[in-house]
Structure 1
Amino acid sequence: MIRKRGSWGEGELYEALCLLMICGCLWIIGIQFQVFSSLNAFIHANDLSNAFMLVALMGLAVFAASLRKSLLLRVAMRERDITAAEAEAVARHDVLTGLANRRLFLETLERRRAAASLVPTQAVLLVDLDRFKPVNDIYGHAAGNAVLCAVAERLSALTPEGGLAARLGGDEFALLVPLDGGSDGLSRLAQAVIASIAAPIQWQGNELKVGATIGIALISADQADADVVLHAADLAMYQGKKDGRGVFRVFKSAMDLELKARAQLESELREAIANGEIEPFYQPVVTLPEKTLVGVEVLARWRHPVRGLLAPASFIGIAEETGLISELSMKLLRQACLDARDWPSHFQLAVNIAPQQFQDRWLCERILAILTETGFSPSRLEVEITETALVQDLEAARTTLTSLQNLGVRIALDDFGTGYSSLYHLRELKFDKLKIDRTYVDTITMSAERAKLVDAIIKLGASLGLVTTAEGIETDASVDWLSDQGCDYGQGYLFGAPMPKEAITALIGAPVEEIQAKALALQAA
């Protein structure tokens, strides 16, 4: 703490005492050598009493002024040193949590890396919080700060002697720890950190819950610098995110190769979207039991110049993580609307909207702009959403869905039966269609339990006035069973895999036998 100007610290008192001792010594010396007696006699002999008193007072004043100046200078120097120390501490510590910041962590890590041998004796644990963003979004930044401070306290309590806990920024923390307990001790520490952070945090009567994913990198002499170590821990943490979160992973060299490959694919994806290399393919949707072709579902295919035709599983996840999904979806929708303009007026077009897109308050306007631009009727468009979009923000989804339905667009709940709150969403939101997930459909003729579930979904849809579509149909036996239960529509490889515009155009109006024959031919090709 900085002392107030004018107060005396140990240094000022010491200096004043030194000055007084010097004056006392001079006084004793003067008495010992009779300097003052001679001076006194001289003053009386020459009648200089008043002048001497004046000189003495002036000397005393000069002494007092010098002493005051010296004391003020010392106080200023102490204030400067304290302020510099506090500034240095602030520059190396996180203001919110009090933990070391990235700068101090990297400096400490670099010192220990430079002193390391080829056999690791230290490790870095990179801790990234899971489900932190919803806390900020739902409860506000004050709650988010409370979570960060609580996490910091828990990490500090778990940091072993000789270790360092740091907040690197945002919701990312790190530990620098010695390997006293070997790999087993490191695993126990990582598990303890995950369990500790997962414990609820009480805040203003609410239980705030977050999780943690940890990446671990061992420190050895063959690493170039501290950034390389931290990058390795980051790669391991990213692998933990891919493996389901709430876990820890130790860095392996293969992770670096995988990340470089992913970064390359991401770069290529950006160029592909900009260059129109990703195009819509169409999977037939037929009526049951007639098997009449009445519409298609739009599915993305990437004509990669080296890898060939890529299915969505190869790139849609990356598009969602990087925020490219909105641009990609809108381009696919625009091209699909242009392709479908020349198809029969009753022909339906179903498109998938990613959960992230429902965070865009202008989504409805963007879709309307494309429909207006292409001249495609809203009544022919069907938007498919999954329950993930609803879980993220139910009110935002409700607003968007209502706006789309007011335009005449129909809404389908995709992958029904895989979510944990489907009945709740059916009650809260108005849908036009249920799509029964393929994991139920492909086993209905082999599993009585699955058949009962599909039958229940079909009856539930009918009782709510909703039509149903079964996905993943591959056999005639499944078609017959679904038709008997009252399922309205079907799609699957039995009627055709996703195909380009030219192929689907050739199927429109064709008899069911021809549709199935062409579907088989396309699959064989």
Structure 2
Amino acid sequence: MAARRGTWGEGELYEALCLLMIGACAWIIGVQFHAFSALNAFIQAHDLSDQFMLAALMGLAVFAASIRKSLLLRQAMRERDETAAHAEAIARHDVLTGLANRRLFLESVARRLGAAGPAPSHAVLLVDLDRFKPVNDIYGHAAGNAVLCAVAERLRGLLPASGLAARLGGDEFALLVPLEGGSDGLVRLAQALIAAIAAPVLWNGNELKVGATVGIALIAADAEDADVVLHAADLAMYQGKKDGRGTYRVFKSAMDLELKARAQLESELREAILNGEIEPFYQPVVALPEKTLIGVEVLARWRHPTRGLLTPAHFIAIAEETGMIGDLCYRLLRQACLDARAWPAHLQIAINISPQQFQDRWLCERILGILTETGMSPARLEVEITETALVNDLEAARTTLTSLQNLGVRIALDDFGTGYSSLYHLRELKFDKLKIDRSYVDSITMSDERAKLVDAIIKLSASLGLVTTAEGIETDASVDWLAGQGCDFGQGYLFGAPMTREAMGVLLASPPEAVQAVLAARQAA
């Protein structure tokens, strides 16, 4: 706008030409009707030449002033229009990426919805970035902005000619595209988006890597409004997140019902945690080969008022996704420590710590507070972690593990054999125990390959000075084989299902030899 100031635009030139044309027409008319001759004779007869020249000059001055005023007015109007257009563009576009914002995107969807026929002609693709938060946390917001701008450019590169790309907010983007290639075209576009966004973003010598999950919703005439279409795409995207991220899903009506059911369960879970409806159950852990009871693993059970007793498979994932897992686990640990005060002093309790909890820098202090509050000895507590809790920040994991071990708490690496970098973590971090995943234990008597792997794990553990616990033991043959290979401890339904505090109290109230007899009887059964 500033570059054009002081020059004639199309409007000024047009107006000047119009004024000149009017003047030329007036001259032609005057000549045609001899008006100038009559005027000249009149001036000479009355000796008015000087006055006429003065009036002509004044007329020309007024004419020039009028033209100048008109030009300035037109320039002011043009600048006003440009300013208004610029403000409107800012109001409808994302400042960082230059893409359309949520307002413009919803207006565009609404227009397509108003023109929708019986068959869908357009679709909305909702793109949500995966692993974007760690980029901001580790490298800072400047790196996060660089990723967002790079994603915006990649979306532009894949956008069909008549499509619209938008940043809806945060790390969420959307595309409005025509169904030119049908459903296959949408699938190819979604796959291309995921592949393009997964490519590293180079920033200050670092490779920043994120992913994308895409939700797709067709714009159909029966949709109520643009928000409904966007909500449908969001539900499909959420389903993709649930199914493992880095994928795409197309909206189906069942997703809405599933989401409402999940929201209901989430609300009930929150109330259950506050009301103490989730309680610790205890599964025996025995020493091998003696089969003497040495401890228990704490497992959560939810006494749902209508669904009955629910296992962790029904609610732990929701607790982790919603951030309720910390409160849930600390409450379970506190209750387990209170229960354990009435048990023999040598009996250990083991509890699993989720990856989300492991990122809590106050984890050690919280656990120490519970132990101090309940009078539980740290030597009786074993914290179980999975490799998932270690992959984000190895140094932070090392600090947390060391702090817990300095308290006297033992650390067990749970589900060993299922991670992708087990040996690396064994080399870099210090553990007290390995827990062999039940998927290996189930098949050791049926698969020589699995048996060799379990044998190798036991020998590796022994060479590192660690003890081993085999999970999921259900047959006598498994017990005999594991004991023969040197496995230290075992747990599973063969020795006892997870039980209530009352059932555990009854078991422990018996003499030690009776407890061993009960476990042996369960094994024989």
Partner of 1:127: 127
Tell me, what secondary structure is at the counterpart of 1:221? coil
Q: 1:279 corresponds to which letter in structure 2?
A: E
The total of aligned residue pairs comes to 517
Tell me, what secondary structure is at the counterpart of 1:223? coil
- What per-residue deviation string (whole Å, max 9, x for no partner) do you get for residues 214-247 of structure 1? 2222221111111111212222222222222222
Task: Tell me if 1:387 matches 2:391.
Answer: no
Matches within 5 A, 1:259-408: 259-408=259-408
Task: Tell me if 1:513 matches 2:517.
Answer: yes
Tell me, what secondary structure is at the counterpart of 1:511? helix
Matches within 5 A, 1:106-505: 106-505=106-505
Distance in 2 (alpha carbons) for counterparts of 1:315 and 1:416: 23
Partner of 2:104: 104
Contact 2:130–2:210 (8 Å) recurs in 1? yes
Moved more, 15-24 or 389-398: 15-24
Deviation at 1:20, TM superposition (A): 5.9
TM-score (norm 2): 0.90
Q: 1:88 corresponds to which letter in structure 2?
A: E
Contact 1:3–1:79 (8 Å) recurs in 2? no
Tell me, what secondary structure is at the counterpart of 2:319? helix
Deviation at 1:188, TM superposition (A): 2.5
Contact 1:6–1:72 (8 Å) recurs in 2? no
Moved more, 3-12 or 374-383: 3-12
- What per-residue deviation string (whole Å, max 9, x for no partner) do you get for residues 269-307 of structure 1? 111111111111111111111111111111111000000
Partner of 1:86: 86
Contact 1:215–1:237 (8 Å) recurs in 2? yes
Distance in 1 (alpha carbons) for counterparts of 2:56 and 2:372: 101
Distance in 1 (alpha carbons) for counterparts of 2:280 and 2:174: 44
- What per-residue deviation string (whole Å, max 9, x for no partner) do you get for residues 127-172 of structure 1? 2222333333333333333332232222222222322222222222
Distance in 1 (alpha carbons) for counterparts of 2:371 and 2:87: 59
Unaligned runs of 5+ residues in structure 1 are none
Tell me, what secondary structure is at the counterpart of 2:390? helix
Q: In percent, how many aligned pairs have the same letter?
A: 79
- What per-residue deviation string (whole Å, max 9, x for no partner) do you get for residues 46-82 of structure 1? x979xx86x8887776665554443333222211111
Contact 1:5–1:72 (8 Å) recurs in 2? no
Distance in 2 (alpha carbons) for counterparts of 1:79 and 1:38: 49
Distance in 2 (alpha carbons) for counterparts of 1:237 and 1:424: 34
Q: 1:281 corresponds to which letter in structure 2?
A: F
Relative to 1, partners in 2 of residues 1:374 and 1:64: Cα closer, same or farther, differing over 3 Å? farther
Deviation at 1:103, TM superposition (A): 1.4
Distance in 2 (alpha carbons) for counterparts of 1:42 and 1:146: 83
Distance in 2 (alpha carbons) for counterparts of 1:480 and 1:284: 18
Distance in 2 (alpha carbons) for counterparts of 1:161 and 1:227: 24
Q: 1:319 corresponds to which letter in structure 2?
A: A
Distance in 2 (alpha carbons) for counterparts of 1:442 and 1:186: 43
Moved more, 285-294 or 144-153: 144-153
Deviation at 1:112, TM superposition (A): 1.1
Deviation at 1:262, TM superposition (A): 0.8
Distance in 1 (alpha carbons) for counterparts of 2:301 and 2:524: 19
Distance in 1 (alpha carbons) for counterparts of 2:523 and 2:89: 70
Distance in 1 (alpha carbons) for counterparts of 2:45 and 2:467: 126
Contact 2:291–2:519 (8 Å) recurs in 1? no
Relative to 1, partners in 2 of residues 1:116 and 1:188: Cα closer, same or farther, differing over 3 Å? same
Deviation at 1:439, TM superposition (A): 0.9
Moved more, 232-241 or 328-337: 232-241
Moved more, 483-492 or 145-154: 145-154
Moved more, 16-25 or 496-505: 16-25
Q: 1:77 corresponds to which letter in structure 2?
A: M
Deviation at 1:388, TM superposition (A): 0.4
TM-score (norm 1): 0.90
Deviation at 1:2, TM superposition (A): 4.9
Q: 1:210 corresponds to which letter in structure 2?
A: V
Contact 2:476–2:523 (8 Å) recurs in 1? no
Relative to 1, partners in 2 of residues 1:318 and 1:37: Cα closer, same or farther, differing over 3 Å? farther
Distance in 1 (alpha carbons) for counterparts of 2:493 and 2:428: 33
Moved more, 125-134 or 223-232: 125-134
- What per-residue deviation string (whole Å, max 9, x for no partner) do you get for residues 76-113 of structure 1? 22111111111111222222222222211111111111
Contact 1:5–1:76 (8 Å) recurs in 2? no
Relative to 1, partners in 2 of residues 1:516 and 1:121: Cα closer, same or farther, differing over 3 Å? farther
Contact 1:472–1:492 (8 Å) recurs in 2? yes
Unaligned runs of 5+ residues in structure 2 are none
Distance in 2 (alpha carbons) for counterparts of 1:460 and 1:36: 122
